[in-house]
Amino acid sequence: MSPSKKAKKTVKTFQRSNVQTFLRLLALLAVIGITVYIYSIRDHIKDFEQYGYPGIFIIALLANATVFIPAPGVAIVFAMGSIFNPLGVGLAAGTGGAIGELSGFLAGYSGQAMVEKTDVYNRIKPWVEKYGGWAILVLSAIPNPFFDLAGVAAGIAKMPVGKFLLFTWIGQLIKMSLFAFAGKYSIHWIGTLIG
């Protein structure tokens, strides 16, 4: 290969690397911005409840879009299960939740260094690498505060976004439907116990 061809190849590689770095930085900044915004409006989240299933979708999306900061999404799904059809609540919340979880995925895709040294991440990462989408499904189906780390691990592993979304959606449907049905069948019992 001639020196001029090597130089052109090196320049193209450098340009592609710069574009990827820029896109990763942009994705990381978007995730940070979303998280800060959602944290700032956390007291107004309940205002979306009056909008029915679309409101439930938005609440779940916003609650799951926060990275490492808990939001009250599951509690609202529980309460909405007693008001609306629990299957509809599960579908709306599961879909919104899956889309919201893209923030953790994007954070992993853009900036792996921010969580690589945590013990929990180091326990979750091998599961995601070994079992792929199935690990994502199980981790998103059970209520746990560490799913963001699974999304980060999937992003770092460069799991295809469609695969991540599909398995996250199935897991979120399971989890949110269970909370909605629990709300439907227990909210009145809790009310009589308290009041």
142-176 pLDDT per residue, tens: 987 778 888 888 988 889 999 999 999 999 999 99
Q: What is the pLDDT of residues 81-121, one digit of tens each?
A: 888 899 999 999 999 999 999 988 888 887 654 666 677 77
Taking the C-alpha atoms of residue 195 and residue 23, their distance in angstroms, rounded to an integer, is 53
Tell me how many domains the chain contains: 1
Stated pTM of the model: 0.71
Q: SS3 for 79? A: helix
Q: Which domain holds residue 41?
A: 3-194
